[in-house]
């Protein structure tokens, strides 16, 4: 098959950049698999640089998914850098100015910071030209929440409008390898039921969480300890409009955020093998009705109950997949195909869009004149792996560590969870720091460690002082256990970020 296609390939380089080369001969500088968040963004960025791009997507219908519905301010800023800011217009998107964390009915507001101060040092929020970001003194940064499919549709339109990008409805089925050098030359795909092939100097795989090609390049699998089950609430009343809601209590966390004028997304984390969601206990519906519903703020319950009766239940795994360096010649994996973190903090699209910005800089025509310069591309990919960490290690570690605390299932984690909430209640930098990290605005892993261990020490302080005098000695003896727990929560994720 491969040989056949190579045989009929025209003399390369001649019409290499043309639309005709892409349409008729299926040849381009870059073949991208997957027109999701990252695929579209990088297609437009490379097209703008004058690269010839083929973008393959298995279904060009407007996606109907429960993922990627809240974009953090750091993602909005990346969209703007890519010239794609207007993809947030006319999709009935809702402004997000922070989070409302509700802990056993007590509320604390986590607003995105105007200026984040860390241990005395000022971290200036990244310069940006968006309305939301302009004049940080007056206005705080904003995120946006929306229907995922509407946003992706806008991104795909941008790719289609770009004269240097050809979008094809095609499902990639296999990689085309050079039999001599093992370099990836492109992909085989199914187009309208027929087998076909597409060739590029570089193949970019952005085929999402269930990536078909990931296993060819790494042995480890994504790890999912829980699933998010989803409902769409109609005209829900929320305690704090224009905020994401995180509801904490005895069980795993529940998220609520408006995704349109009338629609609100509820995401309910359900850990594996949860007894109250077992078949005997009435399955997932039983769990949502008997355990989750009563734990929600009263004003939300009517719309939640209605959705429970009428909406189809859907779920997605909450996966963890640490990043790895792309080392294979001719191909790079990006987005969820390469790196995933728990969706609790809504960081995936912010990572994807910032990765598109960084990648387009590292692969610019000035940096890499021709993309078939495999050695140079791989060198740039090593830089990519380390340079992206300022943002991505923060988002990855924060998501995983916060999930451990918010889904606390033992006494030590429960203490840390309570410490975290009480820490937020202190306000000032105890809110600005964490919310700046969450927003994708503060890109310093050290700031994350600082706040995490501040929370741990504060949790220990509360644990020791909240009991009667008589139990102080016992609690003093037990408190190192809480600190140790905090270390076991954080260190494995730090370690994974230090891997190449
Ligand atoms: C439950 C849940 C909630 C989430 N909520 C948020 C949130 O609120 N905010 C946030 O920022 N992130 C969120 N995320 C993460 C976010 O959805 C992802 O990080 C992001 O979509 C990744 O972008 P991507 O381009 O890598 O993949 P995707 O956006 O999934 O795009 C992959 C594309 O590839 C296509 N494709 C797949 N296979 C093939 C093939 N063989 N051939 C051709 N095309 C193919 C797919 O059709 C799809 O269009 C959530 C994730 C989950 C699981
Ligand atoms: C397409 O590429 C050419 C160079 O090949 C460039 O001059 C042009 O600006 C690009 N078009 C778009 C829409 O970015």
CB atoms within 10 A of CB 431: 23
Burial 364-397 (b: 16+ CB within 10 A, else e): beeebeebbebeebbebbeebbeebbebbbbbbb
pLDDT tens string, the chain, 500 residues long: the values are: 444 444 444 444 545 578 889 998 999 999 999 999 999 999 999 999 999 999 999 999 999 999 999 999 999 999 999 999 999 999 999 999 999 999 999 999 999 998 643 333 344 444 444 444 444 444 689 999 999 999 999 999 999 999 999 999 999 999 999 999 999 999 999 999 999 999 999 999 999 999 999 999 999 999 999 999 999 999 999 999 999 999 999 999 999 999 999 999 999 999 999 999 999 999 999 999 999 999 999 999 999 999 999 978 999 999 999 999 999 999 999 999 999 999 999 999 999 999 999 999 999 999 999 999 999 999 999 999 999 999 999 999 999 999 999 999 999 999 999 999 999 999 999 999 999 999 999 999 999 999 999 999 999 999 999 988 888 999 999 999 999 999 999 999 999 999 98
Calculate helix-pair angle for 37-48, 148-161, nearest 10 degrees.
20
The whole-angstrom separation of Cα 429 and Cα 424 is 9
Q: How many angstroms separate the alpha carbon of residue 430 from the centre of ligand 1?
A: 32
Within its chain, how far is the Cα of 245 from the centroid? 18
Query: Of all protein residues, whose CA lies closest to atom 37 belonging to ligand 1?
Result: 207
Residues with CB under 6 A from ligand 2: 17, 47-48, 50, 162-164
What is the pTM for the complete model shown? 0.93
Q: How many angstroms separate the alpha carbon of residue 36 from the centre of ligand 1?
A: 6
Q: How many angstroms separate the alpha carbon of residue 52 from the centre of ligand 2?
A: 9
Q: How many angstroms separate the alpha carbon of residue 68 from the centre of ligand 1?
A: 7
Burial 108-131 (b: 16+ CB within 10 A, else e): bbbbbbeebebeeeebebbebebe
Within its chain, how far is the Cα of 108 from the centroid? 24
The whole-angstrom separation of Cα 387 and Cα 358 is 8
Q: Is the C-beta atom of 41 inside 6 A of ligand 1? A: no
The whole-angstrom separation of Cα 78 and Cα 347 is 13
Atom of ligand 2 nearest to the CA of 163: 13
Contact 94, 245 (CB under 8 A): no
Query: Of all protein residues, whose CA lies closest to atom 23 belonging to ligand 1?
Result: 37
Q: How many angstroms separate the alpha carbon of residue 301 from the centre of ligand 2?
A: 53
The whole-angstrom separation of Cα 436 and Cα 295 is 28
């Amino acid at each position: 098959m491969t040989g056949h296609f190579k045989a009929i390939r025209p003399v390369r380089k001649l019409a290499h950049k043309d639309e005709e080369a892409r349409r008729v001969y299926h040849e381009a500088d870059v073949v991208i698999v997957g027109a999701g968040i990252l695929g579209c963004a990088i297609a437009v960025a490379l097209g703008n640089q004058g690269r010839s791009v083929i973008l393959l997507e298995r279904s060009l219908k407007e996606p109907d998914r429960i993922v990627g519905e809240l974009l953090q301010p750091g993602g909005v800023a990346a969209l703007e850098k890519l010239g794609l800011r207007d993809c947030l217009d006319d999709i009935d998107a809702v402004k997000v100015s922070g989070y409302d964390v509700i802990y056993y009915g007590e509320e604390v507001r986590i607003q995105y910071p105007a200026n984040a101060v860390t241990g005395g040092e000022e971290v200036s929020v990244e310069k940006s030209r968006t309305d939301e970001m302009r004049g940080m003194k007056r206005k705080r940064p904003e995120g946006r929440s929306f229907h995922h499919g509407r946003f992706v549709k806008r991104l795909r339109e941008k790719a289609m409008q770009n004269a240097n990008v050809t979008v094809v409805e095609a499902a990639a089925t296999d990689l085309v390898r050079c039999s001599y050098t093992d370099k990836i030359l492109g992909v085989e795909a199914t187009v309208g039921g027929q087998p076909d092939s597409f060739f590029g100097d570089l193949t970019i795989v952005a085929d999402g969480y269930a990536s078909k090609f990931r296993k060819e390049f790494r042995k480890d699998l994504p790890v999912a300890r829980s699933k998010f089950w989803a409902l769409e609430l109609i005209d829900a009343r929320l305690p704090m409009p224009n905020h994401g809601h995180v509801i904490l209590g005895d069980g795993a966390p529940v998220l609520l955020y408006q995704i349109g004028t009338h629609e609100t997304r509820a995401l309910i984390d359900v850990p594996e093998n949860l007894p109250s969601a077992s078949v005997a206990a009435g399955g997932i519906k039983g769990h949502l009705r008997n355990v989750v519903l009563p734990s929600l703020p009263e004003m939300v319950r009517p719309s939640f109950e209605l959705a429970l009766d009428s909406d189809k239940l859907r779920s997605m795994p909450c996966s963890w997949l640490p990043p790895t360096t792309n080392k294979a010649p001719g191909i790079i994996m990006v987005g969820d195909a390469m790196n995933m973190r728990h969706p609790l903090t809504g960081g995936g699209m912010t990572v994807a869009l910032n990765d598109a910005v960084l990648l387009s800089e590292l692969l610019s025509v000035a940096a890499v004149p021709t993309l078939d310069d495999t050695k140079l591309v791989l060198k740039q990919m090593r830089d990519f792996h380390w340079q992206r960490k300022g943002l991505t290690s923060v988002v990855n570690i924060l998501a995983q560590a916060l999930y451990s605390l918010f889904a606390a299932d033992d006494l030590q984690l429960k203490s840390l969870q309570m410490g975290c909430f009480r820490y937020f209640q202190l306000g000032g930098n105890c809110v600005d720091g964490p919310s700046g990290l969450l927003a994708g605005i503060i890109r310093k892993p050290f700031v994350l460690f600082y706040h995490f261990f501040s929370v741990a020490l504060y949790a220990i302080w509360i644990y020791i002082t909240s009991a009667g005098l008589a139990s102080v000695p016992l609690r003093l003896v037990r408190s190192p256990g809480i600190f140790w727990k905090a270390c076991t929560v954080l260190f494995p994720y730090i370690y994974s970020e230090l891997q190449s």
